[in-house]
Structure 1
Amino acid sequence: HLGRATARTLPVPLMNILNGGEHADNNVDMQEFMIAPAGADSFSEALRTGAEVFHTLESVLQDRDYSTAVGDEGGFAPDLGSNEEAVELILDAIEKAGYTAGSDVFVALDPAAAEMVEDEAYVFWKSDPDTERSSEDMVEYWAEWVDRYPILSIEDAMDEDDWDGWAMLTDAIGDEVQLVGDDLFVTNTKRLTRGVEEGCGNSILIKPNQIGTLTETLNAIETAHTHG
């Protein structure tokens, strides 16, 4: 029903395989590191690809004597040398599983930036608690990541109330990656409409539990479709 009568395909699955932030008892600031097997020809093939990369990541971690304990959402949650190392481990696992990063499998992120805000500044509270970053700093940070890594999607890259920051980020990298508003839009048509008007994000995550009713959920979906 939600896909409408013409729906014939399933979406590319995003698989959360490495955890940090509030979802893991480790030193990684970003909440979710995901893989997106966007090069697969079918959903079943994408699912198989994701499973293979996930289990290969376990071997990669074991080879480096890293913990293979899992976080709150089932992804591995080792202590790492940096947030960047999380992406590099995933890229290593993609290659060792027999796939090519950037064509078969891409990286997707959910930093949960709202959890990093202290006194209106962004703080990597686990790895670098003494450094404050502005919205401009964060935009530059994410732009560097997108330039360096095969990133397909970033969810909640800025704080939910940092509308100016979201607009700057969308202007900087919105043509290159999917910028998903979860906490930003909370499946709310008013917040979504404001985001469209101000150029904040280019995608929305739909969660019926955020807004409370199916009617409001469907209204948010319709609003998103209307604005492309």
Structure 2
Amino acid sequence: MMPIIKDIKGREILDSRGNPTVEVDLTLSDGSFGRAAVPSGASTGSHEAVELRDDDKKRYGGKGVLKAVDNVNLVIRKALKGKEFNQRSLDNAMIALDGTENKGKLGANAILGVSLAFSHAAAKSAKKPLYKYFKDISKTSEMRMPVPMMNILNGGKHALNSTDLQEFMIMPVGAPSFKEALRYGAEVFHTLKKILVARGLNTSVGDEGGYAPSLPSNEAAIQIILEAIEKAGYKAGKDIFIAIDAAASELYKDGKYHLATEKRVLSSEEMVQFYAEWVEKYPIISIEDGCAEDDWDGW
């Protein structure tokens, strides 16, 4: 028997950046309760699902989410209350209720809030931890902890005084367990701070908790992270690798990539070559959003 939704309640809260977001409480007929808050990114693609905002400049600079909250409390609640669902049928019901390709009618923030709250409640109803609930509904046979990607140096929209590329991360691939990988990352993070302090560089943090020093180039970020890895007692390319989220759409204007830190303007081909040289030179194993979302020639 599938869970029956007893009630749904949405509200507006503030996220870690101080911006409004949607939080949803959902209760099942057996009393199981789930609560979820919807995350939001500083840099988002134009083709992503729509995060519904109020655009009322008198409240939170137009970033309020009361419209999305109303959609939870008035539209979605009315359609779902008292009915049986599993995770897939719930999500499909809300997608059909929205009726748009980009979830622009109800708002992806309204839909995701309800979906996540339901997953928490359903996991409790099934007496399972959330990760095991998702393992079972996805029919995944093997369960394995992921390698953490730790954002230790911020740039781009996450730190306006730093590098052009948005995130420089470390991945402790060589750690024997998630627990040890977390320790590796924490030790490198604190070692990086000591290096920055010794050089008189800023140790303020960006939007996502990484340091945001003013560096002479994007490559300097790679080099200082490699130094931190070594001084923390690890071997780059064996214990720890580097990953990058370039958020390249934020750099793309008039068909070119503008690297303001280095006063360079690159074509798509030159941007790809820029990465190729780094990958050849440094232990980089992941590049996210390396080209702009509409730069198909670059991809």
2:71 is the alignment partner of 1:71 = no
Which of 50, 67, 71 does residue 185 from structure 2 map onto?
50
Match for residue 139 of structure 1?
272
Q: Extract unaligned runs of 5+ from structure 2.
A: 1-133
Q: Give per-residue Cα distances to partners, 1:66-124, cap 9 Å, x unaligned.
A: 11000011000000111111011100000010000000000000111000011111111
Return the alpha-carbon distance in structure 2 between the equivalents of residues 40 and 150 of structure 1: 16
Return the alpha-carbon distance in structure 2 between the equivalents of residues 143 and 120 of structure 1: 20
Match for residue 30 of structure 1?
165
Q: Extract unaligned runs of 5+ from structure 1.
A: 167-228
Equivalent residues of 1:27, 1:127 under 8 A apart: no
The amino acid of 2:271's aligned partner reads M
Identical-residue share of aligned pairs (%): 58
Return the alpha-carbon distance in structure 2 between the equivalents of residues 25 and 132 of structure 1: 18
Which of 278, 281, 285 does residue 148 from structure 1 map onto?
281
Match for residue 158 of structure 1?
291
Which of 174, 192, 213 does residue 39 from structure 1 map onto?
174
Match for residue 80 of structure 1?
215
Displacement of 1:26 after TM fit? Answer: 1.1
Match for residue 197 of structure 2?
62
Return the alpha-carbon distance in structure 1 between the equivalents of residues 141 and 173 of structure 2: 21
In structure 2, relative to structure 1, the CA distance for the partners of 1:98 and 1:4 (3 Å cut) is: farther
Return the alpha-carbon distance in structure 2 between the equivalents of residues 5 and 145 of structure 1: 35
The amino acid of 1:16's aligned partner reads N
Displacement of 1:127 after TM fit? Answer: 3.4
* Number of matched pairs: 164
Q: Give per-residue Cα distances to partners, 1:168-210, cap 9 Å, x unaligned.
A: xxxxxxxxxxxxxxxxxxxxxxxxxxxxxxxxxxxxxxxxxxx
2:230 is the alignment partner of 1:95 = yes
Return the alpha-carbon distance in structure 1 between the equivalents of residues 272 and 218 of structure 2: 16
Which of structures 1 and 2 has the bigger CA Rg? 2
Return the alpha-carbon distance in structure 2 between the equivalents of residues 37 and 44 of structure 1: 11
SS of 2:173's equivalent in the other structure is coil
Which of 156, 179, 182 does residue 21 from structure 1 map onto?
156
In structure 2, relative to structure 1, the CA distance for the partners of 1:126 and 1:41 (3 Å cut) is: same
Any residues of structure 2 matched to 1:104-119 within 5 Å, and which? 104-119=239-254
In structure 2, relative to structure 1, the CA distance for the partners of 1:4 and 1:56 (3 Å cut) is: farther
TM-score, normalised by the number of residues in structure 2: 0.53
Displacement of 1:136 after TM fit? Answer: 0.6
Q: Where do 4+ consecutive residues of structure 1 move more than 3 Å?
A: 2-5
Equivalent residues of 2:154, 2:162 under 8 A apart: no
